[in-house]
Amino acid sequence: MQVIDIGNDFYHRLANRDETQGDGFNNAVMFREKYLKEFDNEEEWQNGNKSIKFDFVNVTKIGPSFANEAFAYFTKYKNATPANILKKFIFTNISNVKLLIISKELESGYNPK
């Protein structure tokens, strides 16, 4: 399984949703396109068995906007429930706060109000 050290390979401050938000650098859209492109189709969420591991050891923070755009984006696919997403995207060395932020965004993306 592929393991990505986000802090070193991408950036330590995960804050911006896209190029229009914040300083626009190292945003969630870029992140998704770099690491999660192969998950961006219905087939993968129906029958696929790919997964990817993200190591958060060098990440200082992840903001809700980033988490929403990078991970909750996939809730648009039929089988992409928050639980299934967390099975395919495995987070290691992640703090409780970071995991809480990601889980909240997954729930909010899955249950539109």
Partner 1 sequence: MNTKQKKYFIKKQKKRLKRKLKLSFYKKKIFKKNNKKTKKTRKISKRQLIYLERKEILQELYKKFNYSEKNFVISISNELGLEKNGNRDYYLNIASQIIDFNNKALIFDLEKCSKIWPSGITLLCSLKKWVELSNRFSINIKRPRIASTSPRDNKVESYLSHCGFYDYVGRPYVSQLSKHYSEDDIVKIKREEAKSKFELKDIVENRENEIIELLEKHSTFDVEQIELFNSVILTEIINNILEHGITYNDQGWWILAQHHETTKIISLCIADNGIGIRNSLTTGPQKEDILKKKIPNNPFNDGKFIEMAMNENVSGSTKAIKKEKEYLIFYNYPKGSRRGNGLSRIKESCIELKIPLTILSHNGYLFQDIEGSIDSGSKSNRVFAGTLYQLNIPAK
Among 34, 50, 53, 61, binds partner 1 (CB under 8 A): 61
Closest CA to 46 of 76, 72, 78: 78
With binding defined as CB under 8 A, does residue 22 bind partner 1?
Answer: yes
- Phi first, then psi, for residue 14 (nearest 5°) are -100, 95
Closest to partner 1 by CB, 50 or 76: 76
Question: Residue 29: CA atoms inside 13 Å, Cβ hemisphere, count?
Answer: 7
Q: Any contact of residue 108 with partner 1 (CB under 8 A)?
A: yes
Residue choice 34, 50, 76, 87 for contact with partner 1 (CB under 8 A): 76
Residue 74 binds partner 1, judged by CB under 8 A: yes
- What residue ranges bind partner 1 (CB under 8 A)? 13, 15-18, 20-25, 28, 60-65, 68-69, 72-76, 95-98, 101, 105, 108-110, 112-113
